[in-house]
Amino acid sequence: MNDMTVSATQPLAATQPLATAQHPAGATKPRLPGDVTPRQLLERIVRVDHAGEYGAARIYEGQLALMGRGPKGDLIRHMKAQEQHHLDTFAGLIATRRVRPTLLLPIWHLAGYALGAVTAALGDRAAMACTVAVEEAIDEHYAEQAAALGEDEAPLRATIERFRAEEEEHKEIGLAHEAELAPAYRLMSAVIKAGCKVAIKVSERV
């Protein structure tokens, strides 16, 4: 095999996040930390939000498997229906904006469902605590994205703001249904939020 031609055309740095500023024509506002191009920003946002909404729908599927016939069943179906709409919207953007979905969808398929099922098994309050923790992470994440998007992406920014308001509603539902009374609430919340943040970071790029 001739390795020389391969290595000559594939510099190692090509897969690293850009560390230096770029100033393409048409840039209208200050960049995110890391100075990604507008196209890279769009790709990361659509990719990670698609992944996140996919995972969210799976969390509720996992919870419904155990709680679907219980007193919180309708509440979880309501939240799941909204997540499905979020997911469908980002799946549409994956297609129309020609963004590669994350390679990690099979992992989020399993991890989302497992997180939902495990928290549901711990009880209704733990399931609600899961929602509160996830939505706190997502709220910050969507707020950062909305702030990073320029006027040229106003429709996407409006979509993100609309979904963010619905995620906020989910968080309020969780709090109203005694999430904070779940066993080991603080620990569970911290672990789930940390997991969400890792999932966000890798799903933006991978």
Q: Which amino acid is at 13?
A: A
Question: Whose Cβ is closer to Fe ion: residue 31's or residue 135's?
Answer: 135
Question: Whose Cβ is closer to Fe ion: residue 56's or residue 130's?
Answer: 56
Question: Whose Cβ is closer to Fe ion: residue 45's or residue 56's?
Answer: 56
Residue nearest Fe ion, Cβ-based: 86
Residue 183 Cβ vs Fe ion, minimum distance, rounded to whole Å: 23
Residues that bind Fe ion (CB under 5 A): 53, 56, 83, 86, 167, 170
In sequence order, what are the residues at sequence separation of 6 or more whose Cβ sits closer than 8 angstroms to the Cβ of residue 61? 80, 112, 113, 116
Query: Cα(105)–Cα(111) distance, rounded to whole angstroms?
Result: 10
Residue 115 Cβ vs Fe ion, minimum distance, rounded to whole Å: 13
Question: Whose Cβ is closer to Fe ion: residue 53's or residue 204's?
Answer: 53
Q: Dig out the tokens for 193 from the structure.
A: 């939020």
DSSP 8-state code for residue 182: S
Q: What are phi and psi of 20, to 5 degrees?
A: -115, 155
Helix (H, G, I), strand (E, B) or coil at 99: coil
Residue 155 Cβ vs Fe ion, minimum distance, rounded to whole Å: 18
Cβ-contact 131, 79 below 8 angstroms? yes
Residue 64 Cβ vs Fe ion, minimum distance, rounded to whole Å: 14
Q: Dig out the tokens for 52 from the structure.
A: 């996140």
Residue 200 Cβ vs Fe ion, minimum distance, rounded to whole Å: 13
Query: Cα(85)–Cα(180) distance, rounded to whole angstroms?
Result: 28
Question: Whose Cβ is closer to Fe ion: residue 53's or residue 136's?
Answer: 53
